[in-house]
A and B are shown apart, each in its own frame.
Chain A
Amino acid sequence: SQQGEEDPQALSIQEGENATMNCSYKTSINNLQWYRQNSGRGLVHLILIRSNEREKHSGRLRVTLDTSKKSSSLLITASRAADTASYFCATALNSGNTPLVFGKGTRLSVIA
Chain B
Amino acid sequence: GAVVSQHPSRVICKSGTSVKIECRSLDFQATTMFWYRQFPKQSLMLMATSNEGSKATYEQGVEKDKFLINHASLTLSTLTVTSAHPEDSSFYICSANRDRGGRETQYFGPGTRLLVL
CB-nearest residue of chain B to A50 = B103
Known: A2-B43, A88-B43. A42 touches B111 (CB 8 A): yes
A2 near B108 (CB under 8 angstroms)?
no
Is A100's CB within 8 Å of the partner chain B? yes
* Interface size of A as a range: 20 to 34
Docked pose: A73 CA to B112 CA in angstroms: 30
Secondary structure call for the B interface: strand
Docked pose: A40 CA to B36 CA in angstroms: 15
Docked pose: A5 CA to B76 CA in angstroms: 32
Chain B residues near A95 (CB-CB < 8 A): 103-104
9 example contacts (A-B, Cβ-Cβ < 8 A) are as follows A40-B113, A43-B111, A90-B44, A97-B104, A99-B95, A100-B44, A101-B46, A102-B44, A103-B43
B residues near A (Cβ < 8 Å) are: 31-32, 34, 36, 42-46, 49, 60, 91, 93, 95, 97, 103-104, 106, 108-111, 113
Which 6 residue pairs of A and B lie closest in terms of their CB atoms, listed nearest first? A42-B110, A97-B32, A102-B44, A42-B111, A99-B34, A43-B108
